[in-house]
């Protein structure tokens, strides 16, 4: 049995759409209907006319798809694929921060749970975080759960931005440290350096460009350079190299691997489609509140 052929057949048979994040395994990326970052996939989830949505990503991404499509069946290819950073912010901690700063607006990175999004004024992604923060009618912003993205936004805003929690981070990007980047630069001195805003502050400061994964795709395509060092999860390298065969793409740190994203295999995609397993559910009361923050983000984007 050819899994790729079977996946294509099942998608047509069930009018299913397969949304795949940039950090997935190469073979999973290659069977996608839409490949992208969190913002791009959220947009696709809001626009799709498919009857069945299959998400190859992590938990919060599939939750967004369900929140935007409450009457459709949404499946996730691996129920164990849970984002550790999203788990760093609890509903209780966010409520406590809101009590301490009652006049602050709450902006949550989409890498957060649905119950936390239900308490937010607006969501954001790394592609639009600074724009979203600056659009808020408050001088104080509670922002979670990524401290490194807070640094990125604070450099681009005059507002007071308070991280919640104080030390929230993506473990994958946080291990892309400056010494590792310097090794990559020494090996490829002519390369243009592009890093993700989830990377540590000193790595951001060393880069030529800071961009979301969709921003990286655009920059590598449009910039005149022939060599690029990319500071993000290594899964993106496959897409960049595939779309730019004439260029050389190098990881800032080759061990920057998201174990949760890599849980999904091609067989998981097939079985999820075939058995319609791992259905995503979001309680109605939470969904109805969270959708307001997500839609606000899409409007401002």
82 in a labelled binding site? no
103 in a labelled binding site? no
38 in a labelled binding site? yes
287 in a labelled binding site? no
Phi, psi of 38 (to 5 degrees): -60, -40
Tokens of 179: 């010494």
Starting at the edge strand found earlier in the chain, the sheet holding 248-251 runs: 209-210, 192-195, 227-231, 248-251
Phi-psi region at 191: left, alpha or beta (left = phi > 0; alpha = psi -120 to 50): beta
109 in a labelled binding site? yes
198 in a labelled binding site? yes
101 in a labelled binding site? no
267 in a labelled binding site? no
151 in a labelled binding site? no
110 in a labelled binding site? yes
169 in a labelled binding site? no
The DSSP code sequence of the chain is --HHHHHHHHHHHHTEEEEEETTS-HHHHTT-SEEE-HHHHHHHHHH---SEEEEES-HHHHHHHHHH-TTSEEEES-TT---HHHHTS-HHHHHHHHHH-TT-EEEEESSS-HHHHTT-SEEE-TTTHHHHHHHSS-SEEEEES-HHHHHHHHTT-SSEEEESSTT---HHHHT--HHHHHHHHHH-TTPEEEE-TTS-HHHHHH-SEE--HHHHHHHHHHSS-SEEEEES-THHHHHHHHH-TTSEEEES-TT---TTGGG--HHHHHHHHHH--SB----HHHHHHHHHHHHHHHHH-
Residue 301 class from Cβ within 10 Å (0-12 exposed, 13-18 middle, 19+ buried)?
Answer: middle
Q: Which residues are annotated as a binding site?
A: 21, 38, 83, 109-111, 126, 170, 196-198, 213, 258
> Binding site for [4Fe-4S] cluster: what residues are annotated?
83, 170, 258
Enumerate the known binding-site residues for iminosuccinate.
Answer: 21, 38, 109-111, 126, 196-198, 213
């Amino acid at each position: 049995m050819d899994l790729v052929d079977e996946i294509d057949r099942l998608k047509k048979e069930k009018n299913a759409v397969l949304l795949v994040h940039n950090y997935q395994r190469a073979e999973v990326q290659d069977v996608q209907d839409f490949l992208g970052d969190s913002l791009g996939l959220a947009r696709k989830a809001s626009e799709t006319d498919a009857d069945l949505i299959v998400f190859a990503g992590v938990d919060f991404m599939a939750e967004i798809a369900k929140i935007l499509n409450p009457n459709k069946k949404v499946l996730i290819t691996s129920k164990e694929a849970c984002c550790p950073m999203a788990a760093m912010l609890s509903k209780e901690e966010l409520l406590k921060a809101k009590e301490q700063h009652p006049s602050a607006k709450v902006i949550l990175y989409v890498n957060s749970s649905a119950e936390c999004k239900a308490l937010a004024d607006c969501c954001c992604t790394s592609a639009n975080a600074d724009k979203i923060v600056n659009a808020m009618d408050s001088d104080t912003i509670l922002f979670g759960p990524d401290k490194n993205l807070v640094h990125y936004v604070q450099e681009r805003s005059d507002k007071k931005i308070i991280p919640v929690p104080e030390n929230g981070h993506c473990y994958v990007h946080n291990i892309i440290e400056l010494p590792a980047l310097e090794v990559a630069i020494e090996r490829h001195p002519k390369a243009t350096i592009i890093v993700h805003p989830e990377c540590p502050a000193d790595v951001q400061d060393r880069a030529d460009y800071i961009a979301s994964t969709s921003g990286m795709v655009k920059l590598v395509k449009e910039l005149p350079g022939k060599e690029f060092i990319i500071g993000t999860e290594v899964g993106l390298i496959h897409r960049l190299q595939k779309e730019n065969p004439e260029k050389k793409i190098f990881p800032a740190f080759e061990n920057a691997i998201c174990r949760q994203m890599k849980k999904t295999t091609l067989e998981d995609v097939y079985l999820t489609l075939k058995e319609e397993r791992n259905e995503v559910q979001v309680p109605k009361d939470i969904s109805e509140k969270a959708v307001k923050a997500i839609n606000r983000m899409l409007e401002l984007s």
